[in-house]
Structure 1
Amino acid sequence: MTKHFTVENTVESALEGLALSNPSLTYVKEDKVIFRDQDKSKVALISGGGAGHEPTHAGFVGKGGLTGAVSGPIFASPSTKQILNGIKLVGQDKPGVLLIVKNYTGDVLHFGLAGERARALGYNVEVFVIGEDVSVGRSKGGLVGRRALAGTPIIHKSLGAYVENYKHTLKDAVKLATALNDNLVSIGASLNHAKVPGQEFESSLKDDEMELGMGIHNEPGVKTLKPVPSVEELIKTQMLPKLLDQSDKDRAFVNFEKGDEVVLLINNLGGVANLVLQAITKVAADLLKSEYDITPSRVYAGTLISALDGEGFSITLLNVTKANKSAPSEVKSVVDLLDAETEAAGWPAKRVETKAPTYDPELIKESDDSTQQAGTYDFDHFSKVLKAGTETLIKAEPEITRLDTKVGDGDCGTTLVAGAEGIVKNLDKLPKHSLAATFHKLSNLLEELCGGTMGALLSIYFSGLSQGVEKNSSKGTPVDPTTFGKALQDALDTLYKYTNARPGDSTIIDALEPFVKEFVKSSDFSKAVAAADKGAQATGSSEAKFGRASYVGDSSDIPDPGAIGLVEFLKGIESAF
């Protein structure tokens, strides 16, 4: 069973937590209302609905956003009394109050009734209903209309900026809301339903299924997809066509024409990792360009309206060009409203700056110019021994991996092989007349190809080798064993600046240092390899003090995989030396 943290009185605690972390907000516990101070000359904006959609609704209360928000229980509308009291709290002496409601039956009924009662009390109130979902078409949606999805926070943000920065009336605010909603389309997709606090998790979806057209209240999607497609296939074949295909008369709610300015929002339904969401954003933007020749003028990504921890996302498109035509005349572009500064915690960009810095690509172009062309060498022989070392390492990889699964995360063997194979594949890119320049190039390759701690260690060591060859030889002078030994020692000294690992700590150093010391002493490669082998085998009788192996309860009877891998590579070189 999936585990979840639980907190008593989750909704009330969450609202109080929001107020604690945002000192400009007031929380009224009795009615679950969050509100802020606002100039009396400005129309008050109130939204709300069931909890579970955080940061919507209360997360959009703040200067440049909503004036107040009213929360119901999870996935259930607040009561008419709660909403009416919210109007009373923020609507005093205001030119009007706009209730912004998502198109769900309970919300529409309760907010509508609260608006009627407030008007009877003398408040100037209008109710605006948001609906921009395209998954349920006209034929099936019937008189109910489109559901509200991630277009909701776009309208919250835009209206908040409008009443904050422009002269307006309540009628003007409704006009802007209409212009936005009429030009918004959204669709969601999810791998699973959400876990509701205090309830047993239920889902009819199997491991190889997902739902298209997922809403934000755990309601089923309109279509089950099996098997689960890739993100690219899902967006390309299922989501974007329903948003943009003008031939689909059941869903062509907004006409997108060539040249129209468009805003893209990728919304996290709550359970998608931030890393994955940003990648989804890239895929969606690329497909908009390649399939529809649309390059969004603004791209937003984040958790703006969630379905608790729903494992899904939604795509929202706003046709800016058409929205501008219907917006109040003083609004030059609705993008200006999205760009405007806000204190609302839920909006991902507090103020948009569109002047990204430029740079000279030459500054980061890979070059060996900083390395003197010191130390000539036999490139053909060098290539031969590298290939031999790689072949031996590949044969030893299963055993290295076996060891690493016991004391690490199981990738040491594949990491070393990836580095060695990558070098062999890039032999034609190595400088052929300078060993210093070659080691400099290898340092860059190893960091790129290996990655992680191993890549960093090897990259630093080869950088030290490059400097050592440069220090101990000159241009046009061959690198002899004595010079190479000095370079090996210089490289080890360089590595020791950045790691405290030493022989006896059960790391790759247990093999590397004996190899270096013996070669410096004797200039005999075979003796140096034997010394490295002895050091590597000794790691099987000592506790690891560095790396993931140091976290293992008892690793004293297992040789260090990195040290074993280095020795195998050196043995391969020795066979062809």
Structure 2
Amino acid sequence: MGITDFFQGSTSVKSFEVSEPLQASLKGFALANPGLTLIEKQDIVLRKTDKSKIALISGGGCGHEPTHAGFVGQGLLSAAVCGEIFASPSTKQILNAIKVLDKNSSGVLLIVKNYTGDVLHFGLAAERARALGIPTRVAVVGDDVAVGREKGGFVGRRALAGTVLVHKITGAFAEQYSEKYGLDGTARVAEIVNENLVTIGSSLDHCKVPGRKFETELNDKKMELGMGIHNEPGVRVLEPVPSVEELLEKDMLPKLLDPNDKDRHFVNFDKDDDVVLLVNNLGGVAPFMLTAIAGKTVEFLDKNYKIKPVQTITGTLMTSFNMDGFSITLLNASKASKKLHEEFSAVKCVRTLLNAPTDAPGWPRISYDKSEAPSIDEKLLQEDVKVKEAGTYDYDHFSKMMKSGADKLIKSEPYITELDSKVGDGDCGYTLVGGAKGITENLEKVDKKYLSQALAQISDIIESSMGGTSGGLYSIMISGLAQGIIQECKEKDTQVTPEILSNAFQHALETLYKYTKARPGSSTVIDALEPFVKEFSSSNDFSKAIEAAEKGAKSTGSIEAKFGRASYVSDSSEIPDPGAIGLVEFLKGVKEGY
């Protein structure tokens, strides 16, 4: 039987469209679940929490429903912070969620999917929360085996459907045991579960994202193995499309379980281990077909690996809109239980936590009871960006340079978008333009006397207007630049000179390097940024610094990407990094207005 007999196999690229789909979706979700509260404009969904217990926050871009908001409930998540389609929420959104939950919890654990934008924004929010005295930890989830160590060694495994098992087990632990084991113990549970998870996905085609043109290179005779959840390409195209039996037996299960595949073997499964199987619908597979796929999966696990799952979960838990595909997750419950009991004697079995009651509306096994939605102190959501005032500057000149840089970048958007459509999800140009317009449209609002305060405000503007990985990177860097100005200006009214600015840029780069492992040679924006900073710091010559940045950006067209979504493409070495090209175009525009 062909795999298209198991899938819906729809070739339609039409989809229902509504204005402001994220806000409309969250409002509808809140209306359907009166035990939850939606903080509008912040896109935060939360429930009532207990002052004596650890609160769990997760989140990320929308498009994966019921993840994340659907798993907010007692015994699971305390709140979900929702970003735009396939884009991380901002640091401000996440920090606001932390501040709200801190009033009714004993600490906050952020469970983050291992994607660069999510890690940056949630990490920065955790840093800021700790600076406010709020006990906060971050647990990063990555369960994908498709990429492998050789390709994904720098960034680690992507997060796929196994993330929801981390949510559920950690949420039940927090509900039952966090008073005894605290924030560190709760974070450790998430780590232990993640260490015993493996997932792989496959799909007949990419998904249709609302408001965007449907783009695919797959025809009726092709499908992709190792699909991510953000429309990024799989690691391998299968042609012709195999039967579902061939797909499972020859392509998917061996990548989860073959001990000889050193590149992808992350978890050992012995014949006597208790194993939990999750067969997850990526969005476009009919439930009837999904259970058929689950049945075949169980059959081949027993036949080829002597594994008989002690529990099988099927359903729509982690989607990619209407993607016509599915993923398989295996959790080694025996090894996870043993480790949990060694470190937390009160915990006997991980499956007890997995099957503990929850009223989260998106979980497939839930218990219903009436719960009161929490009220919100609106004052907690106000966050005016304030830093130490330092470094006087020529605002008019600065404004002219920013507008010139933005104009140059906007003109380059079609080329940047074309590059990103080949190595990413096609939104890099739009994202950069969003940041540029955010700056120019708000220039009149920034501090006109002190550069440190102006840069801090621009950092906040960029984060709000760009979103995603780029927004996080630039926001952190410019925040570091503001701190560098403060350090370099010994007196409040010191005039900013090229020397002061170049030293501040060095501080900005060092700050950025705290939150990303990308370095020159990784085929990212860093390949342009670091040469610019080093040359400007050395010579104080803006033109030479741009030349160095452009040389670095061009070099990304001859090296394999090690970070970002381009790192998951089978060959990205012939295409220059869109983010690096975008930075250079902006700098060229700044020079024209210099």
Query: Any residues of structure 2 matched to 1:16-55 within 5 Å, and which?
Result: 16-55=27-66
Alignment of 1:7-86 (within 5 A): 7-86=18-97
SS of 2:218's equivalent in the other structure is coil
- Alignment match, 1:323: 336
Q: Provide Cα deviations, 1:463-512, integer angstroms capped at 9, x if missing partner.
A: xxxxxxxxxxxxxxxxxxxxxxxxxxxxxxxxxxxxxxxxxxxxxxxxxx
CA distance in 2, matches of 1:133, 1:158: 19
Query: Is contact 1:270-1:306 (8 Å) kept?
Result: yes
Match runs of 1:420-569 below 5 Å: none
DSSP-derived class of the 2:185 partner: helix
List per-residue Cα deviations over 1:197-244 (Å, max 9, x = no partner): 001100011110000000000000000000111111101100000000
Q: Aligned residue for 1:196?
A: 209
Separation in 1, partners of 2:174, 2:304: 37
Check whether the contact 1:48–1:101 (CA below 8 A) recurs between aligned residues.
yes
Query: What is the aligned partner in structure 2 of residue 336 from structure 1?
Result: 352
Cα distance in 2 for residues equivalent to 1:142 and 1:298:
31
Is the counterpart of residue 160 in structure 1 residue 160 in structure 2? no
Q: Aligned with 1:18: secondary structure?
A: helix
Counterpart of 2:55, as a letter, is A
> Shift of residue 55 of structure 1?
0.4
Matched residue type, 2:218: L
Q: Deviations over 1:341-368 (max 9, x none)?
A: 110111111269xxxxxxxxxxxxxxxx
Identity of aligned residues (%): 59
Matched, 1:289 2:302: yes
Residue type at the aligned position of 2:307: I
Equivalent pairs counted in the alignment come to: 352
Q: What is the match of residue 266 of structure 2?
A: 253
Counterpart amino acid of residue 286 in structure 2: A
For residues 93 and 31 of structure 1, the distance between their equivalents in structure 2, rounded to whole angstroms, comes to 19
Q: Which sections of structure 1, spanning at least 5 residues, go unmatched?
A: 353-577
Displacement, 1:93? Answer: 4.6
CA–CA separation in structure 1 for the residues paired with 2:264 and 2:347: 29
Distance 1:26 1:323 in 2: 34
The equivalent residue for 1:174 is 187
CA distance in 1, matches of 2:104, 2:222: 53
Q: Deviations over 1:91-133 (max 9, x none)?
A: 2252210000000000000000000000000100001100010
- 1:210-289 alignment, distance < 5 Å: 210-289=223-302
Q: Which residue of 2 aligns with 1:124?
A: 135
TM-score (ref. length: structure 2)? 0.59
- 1:179 and 1:324 in contact (8 A); partners too: no
Q: CA deviation at 1:2?
A: 2.6
Q: d(CA) in 2 for partners of 1:52 and 1:219? A: 13
Report which structure shows greater RCO (CA 8 Å, sep ≥6): 2
In 2, the alpha carbon distance for the partners of 1:92 and 1:253 equals: 39
Question: What amino acid sits opposite 1:220 in the alignment?
Answer: P
- 2:126 is matched with which residue? 115
State the one-letter code of the partner of 2:77. Answer: L
Q: CA deviation at 1:325?
A: 2.0
**If the length of structure 1 is used for normalisation, what is the TM-score?**
0.60
Within the candidate set 131, 144, 148, 1:137 is matched to 148
Larger radius of gyration: 1
SS of equivalent residue, structure 1 residue 168: helix
Give the conservation status (yes or no) of the 8 Å contact 1:266–1:313.
yes
State the distance in 1 between where 2:28 and 2:310 align. 35
Moved more, 323-332 or 191-200: 323-332
Q: Counterpart of 2:313 in 1: which secondary structure?
A: strand
Aligned partner of residue 85 in structure 1, secondary structure: helix
Give the Cα–Cα distance (whole angstroms) in 2 for the partners of residues 29 and 290 of structure 1.
51
Report the Cα distance in structure 2 between the residues aligned to 1:81 and 1:171, rounded to whole angstroms: 24
Does the 8 A contact of 1:98 with 1:127 survive in 2? yes
CA distance in 2, matches of 1:170, 1:114: 17
In structure 1, how many angstroms separate the alpha carbons of the residues matched to 2:297 and 2:46?
A: 35
Deviation track 1:412-467 (CA, whole Å, cap 9, x = no partner) reads: xxxxxxxxxxxxxxxxxxxxxxxxxxxxxxxxxxxxxxxxxxxxxxxxxxxxxxxx
CA distance in 2, matches of 1:100, 1:153: 10
| Counterpart secondary structure, 2:160 | coil
The 8 Å contact of residues 49 and 105 in structure 2, kept in 1 or not, is answered as no
Q: Measure the CA separation in 2 of the matches of 1:93 and 1:192.
A: 44
CA contact under 8 A between 1:340 and 1:351: conserved in structure 2? no
- Counterpart among 346, 357, 362 of residue 346 in structure 1: 362
Distance in 2 (alpha carbons) for counterparts of 1:112 and 1:233: 41
Note if 1:88 corresponds to 2:99.
yes
Query: Which secondary structure state, in structure 1, belongs to the residue aligned with residue 201 of structure 2?
Result: strand
Asked if the contact 1:175/1:326 (under 8 Å) is kept, the reply is no
Q: Deviations over 1:4-25 (max 9, x none)?
A: 1111111111111111111110
Which residue type is aligned with residue 337 of structure 1? L
- Whether the 8 Å contact between 1:41 and 1:94 is mirrored in structure 2 is yes
Q: Structure 2 CA distance, aligned partners of 1:172 and 1:182?
A: 15
Partner Cα distance (1:257, 1:177) in 2: 22
CA separation of 1:345/1:127 partners in 2, compared to 1, >3 Å: closer, same or farther?
Answer: same
Task: Give the AA of the match of 2:235.
Answer: V
Per-residue CA deviation, residues 536-563 of structure 1 (Å, 9 max, x unaligned), is xxxxxxxxxxxxxxxxxxxxxxxxxxxx
**Could you report, residue by residue, the CA deviation over 1:365-414 in whole angstroms, capped at 9, with x for unpaired residues?**
xxxxxxxxxxxxxxxxxxxxxxxxxxxxxxxxxxxxxxxxxxxxxxxxxx
RMSD: 1.2
Counterpart AA for 1:102: K
Q: Matches of 2:33 and 2:74 in 1, distance apart?
A: 12
1:123 counterpart SS class: coil
CA–CA separation in structure 1 for the residues paired with 2:346 and 2:247: 40
2:16 matched to which residue of 1? 5
Determine if contact 1:176/1:326 at 8 Å carries over to the other structure: no
Q: Partner letter of residue 278 of structure 1?
A: T
Q: CA separation in 2, counterparts of 1:165 and 1:256?
A: 28
* Counterpart Cα distance in 1 of 2:105 and 2:356: 23
Give the 3-state SS of the residue equivalent to 1:207 in structure 2: coil
The AA in structure 2 aligned to 1:239 is: M
Q: What is the rounded CA distance, in whole Å, between the counterparts of 1:127 and 1:51 in structure 2?
A: 20
Distance 2:181 2:292 in 1: 40
d(CA) in 2 for partners of 1:346 and 1:241? 30
Query: What is the alpha-carbon distance in structure 1 between the residues aligned to residue 255 and residue 304 of structure 2?
Result: 13
One-letter identity of the residue aligned with 2:365:
A
State the shift of 1:90 in Å.
Answer: 1.1
CA distance, structure 2, for counterparts of residue 321 and residue 202 of structure 1: 43
